Copies of this chain bind each other. A is one copy, B any other.
Amino acid sequence: MKVFTEERQQAIIKQLNRDGIVKLQELVQTLDCSISTVRRDLQELEDQGKLVRVHGGATQITTLQSEPGVLEKSSKNVQAKQKIAKLAVQQIRADEVIYLDAGTSTEAMIPFMTTLSSVLVVTNGVQLASKLADINVKTYLLGCELKNTTKAIIGADVVETIKNFRFNQAFMGVNGVHPKYGFTTPDPNEAAVKRAVLAQSELGYFLADKSKLNEVSFAKVAELGAGVLLTDEHDKEVLQEFDQTKRIMEAEK
């Protein structure tokens, strides 16, 4: 039984969604093709941000705030993240309605938010909502289907829910910032949520440390001009054009 590339890759995704994990050897049997072919398929799907390859197979993409994200990163990365987070929190004024996207970049903002008064924070991150409640910040957690493995709230419904709100400011993490391809993330669903939020916000901020600059991920969120970039240190050359629009802020060294 011979199948074509597209067909194979769909089968892989399907099996992945069912089991949460796929094994290379099993796929070779199921799809009736060589190891090399399966490897190539997995490689492609990973490039597209549809799965994460692991030794012996692949797993569903774990979008955010699972501990590894926090601890794997080098301490330098963490420092940059914290500086960006501090800068971001400084943009928040009293009595505003804020959207805080799920993710490690935005999660880093929470410790700096203890003194904010009369601010309502809306978020789709379960962990974030929990932490925000801990520091007595008024919090609204968007309700929707909870993705099995990731604890992030994503999907079509949440986009509809977001349309019921109006935010003063929105803070979001992104995986890629590129002069041509704009702001990008690996997961199309997440990108859709971020876009919806952006449309309901007076002003959108994108948090990205130096390593994300000039990078491109899979799913496009918006053009560079759509929001303010908060970063730790930016390459004047690469983002020169964008820089001239004054929509970029750099954390203190």
Contact = CB atoms under 8 A, between A and B. Distances in A.
A49 B65 CA distance: 12
B129 A4 contact: no
| Size bin of chain A's contact surface | 35 or more
Interface string A24-66: 0000000000000000000000011110001111010000100
A253 to B, nearest CB: 29
A55 B147 contact: no
Interface string A172-209: 00000000000000000000000000000000000000
A225 interface: no
A21 interface: yes
A129 B126 contact: yes
A139 interface: yes
A141 B248 CA distance: 35
B4 A57 contact: yes
Contacts of A117: none
Contacts of A147: 133
Nearest to A136: B148
